[in-house]
Each structure stands twice: as C-alpha cells, then as structure tokens.
Amino acid sequence: MITRFIRSSEVEEVLIHGERIKDYPADKPYPSCLLLKFVNGRPLHVVVSQNADTGECIVITCYEPDPNVWRNLILKKKYYIYDVCNL
C-alpha cells in the first residue's frame, strides 16, 4: 500500500463503505470479491476474501485502477444497461 500511496484508512473506508462490483467465487483458499469506493476524489479497488470459519478478512490487493481501463469498463456497463433496458 505504501508504494501505491494508499493509506490504510483509505482501504478501511473501501472495506466498510465500498460497492461490491465483482465476485470471484472460485478463488482459493477463500472466495474473494472486488470492492470499489471513491475516496478523496479518486477511485480505489480492494480485492478481499473472508475466512468463513473465523470471519477474518484478508486484503489481497488494493490499487487505483488504470483510467483507460476504468473508462472502458464504464462504457461497457452503460451500453449493457442500455441494451437490457431496451429489450
């Protein structure tokens, strides 16, 4: 997190208030998910898993997504939503 200039308080903000945008149910040893939250004006992604036996959350990675990939994802989602709504 230090090399990416992401504070632990920012990661905590994503964990508590982030939106779950993708699930990875086949991940081992525990299923994981991708969370998104805009913190201090920038998007942050956190991939986290949870040990079902202990309830312990394990942060796998956290990063600020690439703006080019991020824009493409938003466009794809908008088109997908548009297509679904116009069926």
Summarised one tens digit per residue, pLDDT across range 23-70 is 999 999 999 999 999 998 889 999 999 888 998 889 999 999 877 666
Does 1 reside within a domain?
Answer: no
Q: What is the total count of domains within the chain? A: 1
Q: Which residue has the higher pLDDT, 78 or 48?
A: 48
pTM of the prediction? 0.74
Cβ contact 39:13 at 8 Å: yes
**pLDDT class of 5 with cuts at 50, 70, 90:** confident
Residues 6+ apart with CB under 8 A from 67: none
Structural domain including 54 reads: 8-85
Is residue 65 in some structural domain? yes
Examine the pLDDT at 72 and tell me if it is beyond 80. no
Q: Is residue 2 part of a domain?
A: no
Asked whether residue 3 is domain-assigned, the answer is no
Task: Report residue 39 as tokens.
Answer: 């913190």
